[in-house]
Chain A
C-alpha cells in the first residue's frame, strides 16, 4: 500500500514538473563554424548574453576545419540533420546554397532589426546571392599589408607606400641580415602559391589594395588582366615570385600553413595581416607584437587601401531544428554585446560604436578602421562560373611561375586570350 502511494505521488509530481505552467523547457541552439578556439569563445560569450533574454536557452558552437565544414554542412542539410545555424565567409555559404538550395532568405529577418545603420550597401550586396539574403553580415574581414617593425628599424626604413618602396625594402630584408643572426636566411615577403586560390588570393590583395576594382573579370564579364593598369600589377606580382627572388624558393609549395611558418618563424619580413591574425600574433609565442600594419602598396599613383576581403555571416538552414529561435540568435549577433565580444575575441565586427580602448594598438588599427578601405569585387556573386575560371587562371599563373618567361608581357596577353575563350565557353 505504501509503495503504491509513493509511486502515485511520484508520478503526479513528475507530471506537474513536466506540464506545469511554470515549467521551462531547455533549448539548445547548435552552430557550426570554422573559427577555431576564438570562435568557440565568442559564441560562448554571445550565447551567455542571449540566454539572459531567453531563459533556458543555451548555444553550443562547434568549429571544424574549413574543408570538413563544407562536407559536414552540405551532407547535414541534405539529410535533414542540419544544425540550427551555420557561420562562415559569404562565398562559402554561396557554395552551400548552390549545393543544397536550402539556405533561408534572411531579408525579412534583417527588416526586423531596428539598429542596422552600420551595414553599408556593399555589405548587403555581398550578403545577397541569387536575389536572396543568404547571410546576415556579422564580421567584415580586413586584410592589411604587414611587416616586422624591428626589421624596418634595423634597415633604416619606414612603412612603404609605393611598390618601388616595397622592392627596395624587400631587397634589404633579403640581403642585409635584418634579424641579425649572421645567416642569409631571410626573405622580403612571405606569400603563398600552392593550392587553388592561394596565388589568386594574394593577387587579389595587391590588386584591390592598389586601387583596381577587379582581379580577373568585371561584372559585365570582360577579362581585365591585360588592361595596362592591371597588367602592371600582375607583372610585378609574378616577378616577385620569380625574377626578383623576394620570396622563399619553395613558395610554390606554400599554402597557408607554410606561409605562416615563414612569417612566425622570422624568415619573411612583409606579409598579409588579417584582422583575425592580430590577437594571436600579439602573443609571446608568435610575433610578440613585433609587426606593423598598413595599406597595400600603391601602383601608378592610385590611392592605396586596406582590403575588405569578404564578409563573414550567419545563415539559417531551411530545415534548422529550432528555426524561430535560430533567427532570433542571428539578429542578436548584430547587437552591441555580441559585436563587442566578436571584436575582442575574433578581431572583427560590423558595428562602428564599439569600445576599442582595451585592444592592443595593432588590434585598434583594424577596429578603428581609419584607413581607406577597398572591397573585394565578389565575382562569385555575379558569375556562377567564376570558381572554374579562377582555377584555370591560377593554373596558368602557376605554370608561368614554375617556368618563368624572360618577358611577362606576352604571357599576360596570352593568358588574357585564354581566359576570354574559357569564360565564353563556361557562360554557354
Chain B
C-alpha cells in the first residue's frame, strides 16, 4: 500500500525527477563514487592500491594509523583547532552581523558588508600568501606596526606559541564574512514586533538580545555551526600555504598529515586517515545538528 503510494507520488512528480536525474547521476559519479573508492583504497596494501588487482589487508591500515602517536596527536590538534575556530568565527560573524544590522549604523552599511564579504570570494591561496607576508618577522607589516607602537613582537607563524592564533586570524578573515551573511539574512527575517513588545515590558538591551533576538537566530546558528564544523575539521589550504604543518608539527592537522602520506605513496594509510576524518566530520556535524535541533524543540 505504502509502496503504491510512493510510486503514485513519484509518477505525479515525474517531470521534476526527469530534470533532476542528470544532476543526481553526476552527483553519484563525481561525488559519491570517489568517496567509495577512497574508502576501498583504505583496505588495500599501499603498494598495490592503484593496481588493477589490489591486495586487501582488512583493517591493517586503520590499526597502523590508530597506533601512530603522530596521528593521534594530529587528530587531537585538529579537534581543538576546530572548536576554537568555530567559536571564534561564529562569535565574530554574529557580532559583525548585529553591528551592521543595528539601526544606529546609519551610513556605510553596504561598505561594511562588502568589506567583510570580499575575503570570502578572494582566492584562498592568494589571501593566505598575503597573510604569510603580513606575519613575516623580517619584513611583515604586522610586526612593523607593533614595533612602531612600542609593542612586543608577534611570533606569527614562526613560533609554536603563536602559530595557532596566526592561522586562526587568517581563516577568520577568509570565512567570517560568509557566516555573517547567513546571520544577516536571518536577522532580516525576524519578527521585530517582539522587540517592541519587550521594550514596552521594560526589557534591557541585553535581555532583548538574549531572550528575543538570539532564539530567532537558531536556524542561522544551526546552518553556520554545521558548516563551520565541517570546514574547520578539514583545514588544509591555510596549512599548505602558510605553515606546512609546522613549526614542530603544531599545525599538522589530519588533512595535511594524510596529504603528506600521499606524497610518500602510503595510499592505504592516507585514505584510512581520510576515512576516519570523514567519519568524524559526519558524526560531529550530525551531533551539532541534533543538539541545536533538540534545544529548539524544548
Q: CB within 8 Å of B: which residues of A?
A: 67, 70-71, 74-75, 78-80, 95, 98-101, 185, 187, 193-196, 248-253, 255, 267, 387, 395, 398-399, 401-403
Asked if A95 and B265 make an inter-chain contact with CB atoms under 8 angstroms apart, the answer reads yes
A-B contact count (CB 8 A): 83
Q: CB within 8 Å of A: which residues of B?
A: 46-48, 50-52, 70, 132, 135-139, 156-160, 242-250, 260, 262-265
Asked if A185 and B243 make an inter-chain contact with CB atoms under 8 angstroms apart, the answer reads no
Asked if B50 and A79 make an inter-chain contact with CB atoms under 8 angstroms apart, the answer reads yes
A100 to B51, CA, bound (A): 8
* 8 Å CB contact of A249 from B48, B138, B248, B249: B138
Measured CB to CB, the closest approach of chain B to A327, in angstroms, equals 24
Interface centre among B51, B136, B160 (most CB of A within 10 A): B51
A70 to B267, CA, bound (A): 12
A251 to B244, CA, bound (A): 12
Contact A249/B137 with A78-B51, A403-B160, A403-B248 known, Cβ cut-off 8 Å? yes
A398 to B247, CA, bound (A): 7
Asked if B50 and A78 make an inter-chain contact with CB atoms under 8 angstroms apart, the answer reads yes
Asked if A99 and B246 make an inter-chain contact with CB atoms under 8 angstroms apart, the answer reads no
Name 27 interchain pairs, CB-CB below 8 A, sorted by A.
A70-B265, A71-B262, A74-B50, A78-B50, A78-B51, A78-B52, A95-B264, A98-B47, A98-B265, A99-B265, A100-B51, A185-B138, A185-B139, A195-B245, A249-B137, A250-B137, A252-B158, A253-B157, A253-B158, A253-B242, A253-B246, A255-B244, A395-B248, A398-B248, A399-B249, A401-B247, A401-B248
Asked if A249 and B47 make an inter-chain contact with CB atoms under 8 angstroms apart, the answer reads no
Interface centre among A70, A255, A402 (most CB of B within 10 A): A402
Asked if A398 and B157 make an inter-chain contact with CB atoms under 8 angstroms apart, the answer reads no
Q: Which chain B residues border A193 with CB–CB below 8 Å?
A: 246
Measured CB to CB, the closest approach of chain B to A1, in angstroms, equals 51
* 8 Å CB contact of B246 from A78, A79, A101, A194: A194
Closest 7 CB pairs of A and B: A402-B248, A249-B137, A78-B51, A194-B244, A402-B247, A78-B50, A75-B50
Asked if A70 and B263 make an inter-chain contact with CB atoms under 8 angstroms apart, the answer reads yes
A9 to B36, CA, bound (A): 56
- Identify the closest chain B residue to A400 (Cβ): B248
Asked if A250 and B265 make an inter-chain contact with CB atoms under 8 angstroms apart, the answer reads no
A71 to B52, CA, bound (A): 15
Measured CB to CB, the closest approach of chain B to A270, in angstroms, equals 16
A75 to B49, CA, bound (A): 9
* 8 Å CB contact of A253 from B51, B139, B244: B244
- Identify the closest chain A residue to B46 (Cβ): A99
Measured CB to CB, the closest approach of chain B to A272, in angstroms, equals 19
A78 to B49, CA, bound (A): 9
Asked if B137 and A252 make an inter-chain contact with CB atoms under 8 angstroms apart, the answer reads no
Q: Is the interface of A mostly helix, strand, loop or mixed?
A: helix
A156 to B158, CA, bound (A): 33
Q: Which chain A residues border B248 with CB–CB below 8 Å?
A: 395, 398-399, 401-403
Q: Which chain A residues border B244 with CB–CB below 8 Å?
A: 194-195, 253, 255
Q: Which chain A residues border B139 with CB–CB below 8 Å?
A: 185
A251 to B246, CA, bound (A): 11
A387 to B263, CA, bound (A): 12
Q: Which chain B residues border A267 with CB–CB below 8 Å?
A: 138
Measured CB to CB, the closest approach of chain B to A258, in angstroms, equals 9
Measured CB to CB, the closest approach of chain B to A43, in angstroms, equals 25
A250 to B249, CA, bound (A): 15
Measured CB to CB, the closest approach of chain B to A268, in angstroms, equals 11
Q: Which chain B residues border A75 with CB–CB below 8 Å?
A: 50
Asked if A80 and B52 make an inter-chain contact with CB atoms under 8 angstroms apart, the answer reads yes
Contact A252/B247 with A70-B263, A70-B265, A196-B260 known, Cβ cut-off 8 Å? yes
A320 to B13, CA, bound (A): 53
Q: Which chain A residues border B250 with CB–CB below 8 Å?
A: 402
Asked if B46 and A250 make an inter-chain contact with CB atoms under 8 angstroms apart, the answer reads no
Interface centre among A79, A100, A250 (most CB of B within 10 A): A250
Q: Which chain A residues border B70 with CB–CB below 8 Å?
A: 395
Measured CB to CB, the closest approach of chain A to B196, in angstroms, equals 54
A358 to B139, CA, bound (A): 40
Contact A387/B138 with A249-B158, A252-B247 known, Cβ cut-off 8 Å? no
Asked if A250 and B136 make an inter-chain contact with CB atoms under 8 angstroms apart, the answer reads yes
Asked if A252 and B246 make an inter-chain contact with CB atoms under 8 angstroms apart, the answer reads yes
A255 to B263, CA, bound (A): 15
Q: Which chain B residues border A79 with CB–CB below 8 Å?
A: 50-52
14 new A-B contacts, CB < 8 A, other than A79-B52, A195-B244, are: A70-B265, A75-B50, A95-B265, A185-B139, A194-B245, A248-B138, A250-B156, A250-B157, A253-B246, A387-B264, A395-B249, A398-B248, A402-B246, A403-B160
A187 to B138, CA, bound (A): 10
A194 to B248, CA, bound (A): 9
* 8 Å CB contact of A99 from B47, B132, B158: B47
A31 to B150, CA, bound (A): 58
Q: Which chain A residues border B247 with CB–CB below 8 Å?
A: 252-253, 398, 401-402
- Identify the closest chain B residue to A248 (Cβ): B138
Interface centre among A79, A185, A395 (most CB of B within 10 A): A395
A395 to B46, CA, bound (A): 23
Measured CB to CB, the closest approach of chain B to A335, in angstroms, equals 33
Measured CB to CB, the closest approach of chain B to A277, in angstroms, equals 22
Q: Which chain A residues border B50 with CB–CB below 8 Å?
A: 74-75, 78-79
- Identify the closest chain A residue to B153 (Cβ): A249
Q: Which chain B residues border A78 with CB–CB below 8 Å?
A: 48, 50-52
- Identify the closest chain B residue to A255 (Cβ): B244
Measured CB to CB, the closest approach of chain A to B216, in angstroms, equals 44
A175 to B10, CA, bound (A): 78
- Identify the closest chain B residue to A387 (Cβ): B264
A74 to B264, CA, bound (A): 11
Q: Which chain A residues border B243 with CB–CB below 8 Å?
A: 194, 253
Q: Which chain A residues border B263 with CB–CB below 8 Å?
A: 67, 70
- Identify the closest chain A residue to B264 (Cβ): A387
